[in-house]
Amino acid sequence: MKELYEYGQVEIRDKDIFLNGKHLFHSEASSIDPFLTDVYEHFVKSYPKFYKMDRISKLGFLAIEILLENLSWIKELAKEKVAVLVQTAQGSLDTDLHYMMNIQDPQDYFPSPSVFVYTLPNIVIGEVCIRNGFKGENLCLASENFDFQLAETAIRDWLSNGQTALVLVGWVEVKGDNRIGRFYALGNQQEKSRGVFSQPI
């Protein structure tokens, strides 16, 4: 079995961001929405569609933006060779609850199409792929915690078929003001890697 190599990792947790294990950014925002805006304004600034996304999409989008910004060589890869795999426990529940509030009152019944589109847990993958033009494999998995073994079969299969050169794999979870986004860039080429991928606990 070929080794899996890690090219980079990013984690957004509470009010902080870590890149390759080193602290990168801190926000004093008191809740999730201003925090996500702080991160966007610091790292991205130029993608207005961000403001239309739901929270889980914003979180995954920002994590991958930060990761890719520090792996500029990825831009040289064919878009068809980049795969995205996301795991989540609650999926789009945060958005589902918001949507439900729109349709509960018979006197003020307004099912919002702009909210409805985000009531799919895999929408975060769509936002990432649209932004970057990725056209490779993608998969959204549900699990109680980030379970790399659950994703590993798909990752190894994608990398072994010669059609995938890089997999962005991670975990996104939003529940109220609690959030965590963690992503890894993985491949089977040692060149440019940080070393053999160590499976997260």
Domains annotated for the chain, with CATH where assigned, are 5-195 (3.40.47.10)
Report pLDDT digits (tens) over 163-192. Answer: 999 999 999 988 777 788 999 999 998 888
Structure confidence by residue, pLDDT tens digits, 3-61:
899 999 999 999 999 999 999 999 999 899 999 999 999 999 999 999 988 888 999 99
pLDDT, tens digit (0-9, with 9 covering 90-100), for 154-164? 999 999 988 99
Query: What is the rounded CA–CA span in Å between residue 116 and residue 63?
Result: 23
As a whole number of Å, the end-to-end CA separation of the chain is: 21
User: For residues 173 and 90, is the Cβ–Cβ distance under 8 A?
Assistant: yes
Dihedral angle, C-alpha 45, 85, 161, 198, nearest 10 °: 100
- Comparing CA positions, the residue from 81, 41, 88, 87 lying closest to residue 65 is 41
**Tokens encoding 130:** 């649209």
Q: Tell me what the mean pLDDT of segment 106-135 comes to.
A: 74
**Average confidence (pLDDT) over 133-159:** 92
The pLDDT mean for the chain works out to 86
HSE, CB side, 13 Å, CA atoms: give it for residue 181: 26
Q: What is the pLDDT of residue 6?
A: 96
User: Which pair of structure tokens corresponds to residue 47?
Assistant: 């993608």
